[in-house]
Amino acid sequence: MEYFLQQLINGLTLGSIYGLIAIGYTMVYGIIGMINFAHGDVFMVGSMVSFIVLLALGVTGGSGAFMIIFALALVVVIAMLIASVYNWTIERVAYRPLRGSFRLAPLISAIGMSIVLQEFVRIAQEGRPKPMQPLITGGYELMHRTLAEGGDFTVKISNMQIMIIVSTLVLMTVFTMLIQRTALGRAQRACEQDTKMASLLGINVDRTISITFILGACLAAFAGLMFLLYYNVTDFFIGFLAGIKAFTAAVLGGIGSIPGAMLGGLVIGMIEVMWSAYFSVEYKDVAAFTVLVMVLIFMPQGLLGKPEVEKI
């Protein structure tokens, strides 16, 4: 039981990171009906920028609570700003000129932008992993048991895990309220229904889509910072696999639904961690994608998605 509880905490933490990235996928798809396959690399850029800024500030785990909080606040702002510029540029270069084209063209363009971002960071920062010392340490002991075969097993939740889970829940709530109860959210929902009609009603469609890309980039940058602080390492390739997993989470939860994206992220994270704990770690990705296939066979719209109704 103790081992299961520990893996449950680990799965919730990993799933929260996937969920943050997946929200960016689902927001963009909800408006323009296209997948931004460069979104995972925006997450990577946010993580890499966070590493560079923390390195420049010289902050370590012994710098003091006030200095660490101040540094993290500054890192969040800078990482979100730079990631937003990248994602805004992707929308202007790779999506807006092709918005009226056939659906495969923006997909190919987005994949091209993903490769460009990867190679740009690889050349600018070298291809080797970038490790760092743990910045947020400590935690709480939840359970302790002495094993019959000797030794002890302690169930712990670290301060970093608490930070990731709580901040993810807060951001999901904020973005859900933004979509449902603000003028921007109404504009986004109008564009989701019909961009031409939304434009006729006075909504600036281009600006709404650009803001959506920027909001998605902010979430991806925050997830990149959380990834860096949790694993204490980053590199130019982390965006590829994390982006694929987050896209899978968005599809599993019901692409277009923010709670669905978060639920999908948690499910993928739990499957990976539990499979690695009780079975072979080499097949954790196979298990995650197998569950995705099974869900989509019986629920094509995903766990919380709504079936698309085509009006004639």
Per residue in 128-143, pLDDT (tens digit) is: 999 998 999 888 988 8
Q: How confident is the model at residue 223 (pLDDT cuts 50, 70, 90)?
A: very high
Domain membership flag for residue 160: yes
**Inside any domain, residue 307:** no
- Residue 311, pLDDT > 70, answer no
Report the percent of the chain where pLDDT is more than 90: 44
pLDDT in tens, 181-219: 899 989 988 988 888 889 998 999 999 999 999 999 999
State CA 242 to chain mean position distance. Answer: 8
Distance CA 165, CA 16 (A): 6
Has residue 260 been placed in a domain? yes
Q: Give the number of residues written for the chain.
A: 312
CATH number at residue 282: 1.10.3470
Region 269-287 average pLDDT: 89
125 domain residue, yes or no: yes
Smallest CA-to-CA distance from 11 within 232, 263, 266 is with: 266
- The pLDDT of 18-34, averaged and rounded, is 85
Give the list of residues 6+ apart from residue 137 with CB closer than 8 angstroms, or none.
61, 158, 159, 160
Measured CA to CA, the distance from residue 217 to residue 45 in angstroms comes to 10
The Cβ of residue 311 has, within 10 Å, a number of other Cβ atoms equal to 5
Number of Cβ within 10 Å of residue 283's Cβ equals 12
**Mean of all residue pLDDT scores within the chain:** 88
| Mean pLDDT, residues 54-76 taken together | 87
User: Which of 110, 93, 72 is CA-nearest to residue 221?
Assistant: 72
Check if the beta carbon of residue 224 is closer than 8 Å to that of residue 21: no
C-alpha 255/C-alpha 311 separation (Å) is: 20
CA 259 vs CA 131, 141, 303: distances in Å: 33, 30, 10
The alpha carbon dihedral of 229, 230, 235, 239 has a sign of negative
* Phi, psi (deg, nearest 5) at residue 183: -65, -40
Total H helices, total E strands in the chain: 11, 4
* Listed residue (173, 212, 207, 206) closest to 28, CA to CA: 212
pLDDT for res 104: 79
Distance CA(302)–CA(248), nearest Å, equals 10
Q: Is residue 77 part of a domain?
A: yes
Structure tokens at 205: 């469609």
The confidence score (pLDDT) of residue 108 equals 86
Q: Is residue 312 included in any domain, yes or no?
A: no
Q: How confident is the model at residue 300 (pLDDT cuts 50, 70, 90)?
A: confident
Compute the distance between CA of residue 23 and CA of residue 263 in angstroms, rounded to an integer. 10
Task: Specify the number of domains making up the chain.
Answer: 1
Note whether residue 309 is domain-resident: no
Residue 308 banded pLDDT, cuts 50, 70, 90: low
With 90 as the cut, is the pLDDT of residue 45 above it? yes
Residue 306 placed within a domain: no
pLDDT at 204: 93
pLDDT score recorded for residue 149: 67
Q: What is the pLDDT of residues 143-189, one digit of tens each?
A: 877 766 667 778 899 999 999 999 999 998 898 898 888 999 899 88
pLDDT at 254: 87
Burial tier of 234 (Cβ tally within 10 Å: 0-12, 13-18, 19+): buried
Domain of 287, in residue numbers: 2-298
